[in-house]
Structure formats: structure tokens, C-alpha cells
Structure 1
Amino acid sequence: MPALLRTESPLKNLERRILALGLEGSANKLGAGVIQHNPDGSSTVLSNVRHTYITPPGEGFQPRDTALHHREWAFEVIKNSLSSANITLADLDCICYTKGPGMGAPLQSVALVARTLSLLYNKPLVGVNHCVGHIEMGREITGAKNPVVLYVSGGNTQVIAYSRQCYRIFGETLDIAVGNCLDRFARVLNLSNNPSPGYNIEQKAKRGKRLVPLPYATKGMDVSLSGILTAIEAYTLDKRFRPDEYNKSSDDEDIIVPADLCFSLQETVFAMLVEITERAMAHIGSKEVLIVGGVGCNERLQEMMGIMAQERNGQVFATDERFCIDNGIMIAQAGLLAFRMGLTTPIPKSTCTQRFRTDQVHVSWRL
């Protein structure tokens, strides 16, 4: 488990406002955000700046190229974040960065920037788990108290609940993440990566009318998505498939268009996620669901989860694209919570790990 060292009493940090800069770069989003924790325990978002590395349609983003993007844009993004917050680096109390999980080269690029600023300005460094950053930002923005968390992104799919200073993983993907599944199918359809392939899948799905059969692969509390991806890709090779927009008539009911496939993929995969989330709610007796991660912006997922929660007399909490898509402010929030407990990351320990699990974090700031 990556270590955080306790440096001072947490009570000392509660007597004044505390400022943290958060740096995120675990995938193709480079983010910098400044958050202020107030003496009354509340938080104020002062800035949240992001720049996305976008590749041509049909292409994914490679670690080396993504790392080059982050290095090229780091100065500009951080400068804009500090300017928007109307502060300087000297005003900060700590600098927080994403320690993992994520892509190795991009993570290392941002960690290098964080270490450099920490040494130049003599500011404590705090390494943050990317997943915990999503959760803590979601809790802060929505006000959810003790929800079951559905964490869905390009690299992660997990159902999580808090217990005894740890975010316990109740279920997860056995192979690829839901965001990766959607992104890879978007590349098969040659959809644009601007603003994101998942967003363009969602928009095309809204025009879909036909539900094609796909595998439904829940295994206890876990899901498997690679077989569904293979099955949906096979439809694009079917003689009934038309790659362009197609106005159906009564004579061609069997025609399959991209909108139908996007619709079918979303409906099937999201139903699986709703099922395992409901099972976790029943297990811990919770009536709250918090959806976090980039895929959490999907309106259809929120709608399906809302129907389930309403049937259980519960409530769904979600954020918009400012906070559900990878951003620097979520790293600042989680890092500052740790810093207030007196936890920092020594420079020799300020490494990155691509496989930093959510349940490896000691959540000392919660009872």
C-alpha cells in the first residue's frame, strides 16, 4: 500500500482556511484545480481547468503521446487554474497529484510536475488515489451521506460502499471497464473522439429504436463486458448492417443501423450495472446511490438508476461533466481531506502505480 506519513495534528489544520492545488493526468484529461477548505468544514471550488488530448476518429490514445500532451500543456493549465483562483503557488498549503490508478507514462508526467513544484516552493505533497478522488468530489458536490457508489469510467467499473475507514469493493468488472467498452465500439463505428467517444455513443443511442440480442453477463456481484463487445462488433459485419444513417421503411425492418447498436449496447450494459448496484444497496441497507466517473455523466444510466432507486424509495446522486469527468479539483479535494488529517507523501515515496486499488486507501478522514 502506498504510504502517507502523518506530519502534524489534524486539529491544527481546522483553525484556518487551507488551499490545495490538485493535478490530474491519469488518462487523456489533464486537469488542475484549486479548492479551499474553510474553518467551518465546508469547501469552496476556486478553479477547475482541464485540457483533453483528442485523437482522430477511430483511434485511441497511446501512453507516450498522452504523456507528451500533458508535458506540453502542464504549465498553461496550472497557470490558468491559479489565475482563475486569484492565488499564487506561494499561497498554497499543499500540492496534490494522482498517484494511480491510470496509464503509466501520463501519471509519471504529472507526478514529475507535482514534485518539481513541491521542491521549488517548499510545499507538502499528497499522493491521491484517482478513484477516491472521484468519490470524495461526488460526496462533496451532491451531499450524499453514505451511498453505494457506482464508479464507472474508461479504466474502472466498481460498486463500492464505505465501512471502517475503507472503501470496500462489492463488485467490479472481470475484464474491461464499461468506458473502455463504449470507447472501443465508438472506434469500430469511426465516431469522433470530440468531446469523447462515450458521449457520441450516447447521442447516437438516443436515435436507436431496435434492441438487438446481446449477452447479459452478471456473475454474482461482478460483470463481464468483453463478450458483449465482441458480440456488438459482430453486428457491424452482418449483411443487414448499414454504416450510415438509414431511413427504414416497412420493407426493411431487419436493417440494423449504428444508432440501434449504440442503443442496444447501452441498455444491456447499464441494466447489468443497475442490477449489481441494487444488490449492494440491499446488502448494506442503503437508499442512496452515487454515480461517479466519466460514464456517470450518461443521462440514460442516470435515468435507469433513478427508476431502480425510486422503486426502493431511494435517491440517486450524480454530477455534471465538470466533476464526473477526470479533473484536478477532485484530486485537490481528496488530497486536502488527507492533509487535514496530517498525512503527506514524502518526495522519495512520490511515485505512481498503475494498479492502485480503491480499497487500498486508509480513509482516515471518515469515522
Structure 2
Amino acid sequence: MKKRLLSLLAVSAITVTLFAGCGSSGSGTSTADKGSSNAKEYQVAMVTDTGGVNDQSFNQSSWEGLQNFEKNNKGAKVSYLESKQESDYATNLDKVVDSGNKLVWGIGFAMSDAITKAAKSNPDVNYAIVDNSYGDDTPANVTGVMFNAQEPSFIVGYIAAKTTKTGKVGFVGGIKSGIIDQFQYGYQAGVQYAAKELGKDITVDVQYAESFSDASKGKAIANKMFSSGCDIVFHAAGGVGVGVIEAAKEANKFAIGVDRDQAYLAPDNVLTSALKLANVAVENLSKEAMSGNKIGGKTYTYGLKENAVGIPTENKNMDPEVYKAAMAVQDKIKNGEIVPPYNEDTFKSFGK
């Protein structure tokens, strides 16, 4: 069924060009002229976490942001290095500095320690990290980027509760952390909010894969959830989530995607996605840095008000009335009438 579109986010589809590397990391460069080094070039690189640049999630979204940055800013040149394991972080950060990059992005909270050490060793290089804040201890040459991921998670939880036929839905997390708590508890609160509206009891099965890359584990967890009565499963698990979506397709149930619009992975089995548009932040802050503006020493937070989180405008598997109700909930979050919880403590007090 065709949905009435509401302009929340306009996201361009970017073709990701990947180049496989040898050893512990892969690397990629832009499609710009690869000629000799130009003094006018502003080089920006990103180092992925272990999910990899083609994780169908926030690493990929971040790389799309850098590609847009290069496309839209003359003189910009971008590249990436892919981490296969945590021990690659420090090595890859050193490599991109040695290559002359002026801004280095670390993708994912797991890179926080490696970024801190690299920034201390290279005070003349600017660093930025997605999904981490150092608070008052943020080094002068480091920028933290955070998202109010609990906001779109609340919305998709609300949608799940309004859509479920069994009264049982699931959540699959990657590795437990403060970041993934935003997704879990935002989602659970959204389910709870809708259940109260409906006057029903709707349960949420929560499990963690202890990985962001093991798709087979995600598939196994989701299969178990579906066989135990869940008919909708939301994941916040990077590459693990690809397995969750595969399980939904095979079981003919619904999955809810994360970070990017993941409907293309299973057009008939992705109900919607909780968007966290890392590409928006990465492109905007890279442009600020290239322009000479100081972005270091602080944290930037992106949410619904910045049009950096939300849900897709097109959701063919969703009832139009559910979409309409979800947009009303979104408006309540924007105006502060609903404040989605982001951890266990705020979840316990939510709605009281």
C-alpha cells in the first residue's frame, strides 16, 4: 500500500565503491583524481570499527557522508581503512595520519580509547568519533558525535506494538553499551506507550549477540524469537542485523532496520527502520573543519530537531493509519511532550 509521504528526511542513495585490501585491514579511496599530492587538497579519512565499511549500517552511512563531502567541496579528498579486529584500530589511525589526512574519523564507540591515544600523540591532527562523547574531558583536537537514537527507537517501538498480531516483539542488540541502551530502552518505551494506548499487554524479548559482525548469530537469535512467537524483531547490531533481516525473510515475519533505510535488504519483510544518519553529521562537520572552523573539544548531538534521526518516509509494509499515528508521536517528541528514555534508569521512570 502506498503511503502518504511526509517530508522528514531526504536521503540520497550513494553508490559505495569498495576496494578489498590485504592483511588485517581493507582500504578505499574516493573516485576523485588520484594524481600527485596537491597542497590545496583537504584530506579526510575514516577508520571503521570491526563491522566494516559495508556493514549496511552506520559505518557505511559514515562513508557515504564522506563521499558526499568530497563531491560537494572542491579540493576535498576522502579515504577509509577497514578494521578487521580491535587491534587494528591504533595501527589504522597511525596509517591515515602518515598519509597526510587533516581530519580523521573513528566510527563507533569501541574506538574511543584508540582515538584518545592517537589525538594525544598527534596534537596537530583533528580527530572526530561517531557515537562517543568524552564530556568535559574531550581533548582540544577531538570532536564527539552523538545521536538521540532513543527518539527513532521509540517511534519504531510504537509502530511494532501497533502492528504486532501476536503481542510479542523482539530486540536484538550487538554489544551492550550506553549507545545500544538508547535503542533498547527507547524501543521498549515505544512499545509500552502504544500498548497502553491499545489497552493490551505486549512483551519485548531482548537478547544480545555480543558482536556487531556475526550475521549468522543474528539470524540464529532472530529465528529463535520468531519460533517463540515474536512477529517483529528490531535490531541495533550492525552487521549482525543482516542475519536478523534474513531470518525475518525466511520466516515471513517483520524485521525493523537500523541506522539506514534497510528495506532494500528484504522489501517485503522490513517494516520500517530507525534512522540514525551518521552521513549527515560526518559530511557537515567535515565541511566545518575544512572551512577552518574549530570543531574540537566538544560534542555535537543530533536528533529529530536536526533531521538526523527518524524513520523513512516510505514504508510499504506499514498500515497508513499506523504511520499517521507514528508521525503524531514524532511531533510529540519534537515538542518535548514525550521524552524517550535512553537507559535503564530513565526507562524505569518513564511515564510515571
TM-score by length of 1: 0.34
Work out which of the two has the higher radius of gyration on C-alpha atoms and give 1 or 2.
1
- Normalising by the residue count of structure 2, what TM-score does the alignment of the two structures yield? 0.36
Which structure would you say has the larger RCO, counting Cα contacts within 8 Å and 6 or more residues apart? 1
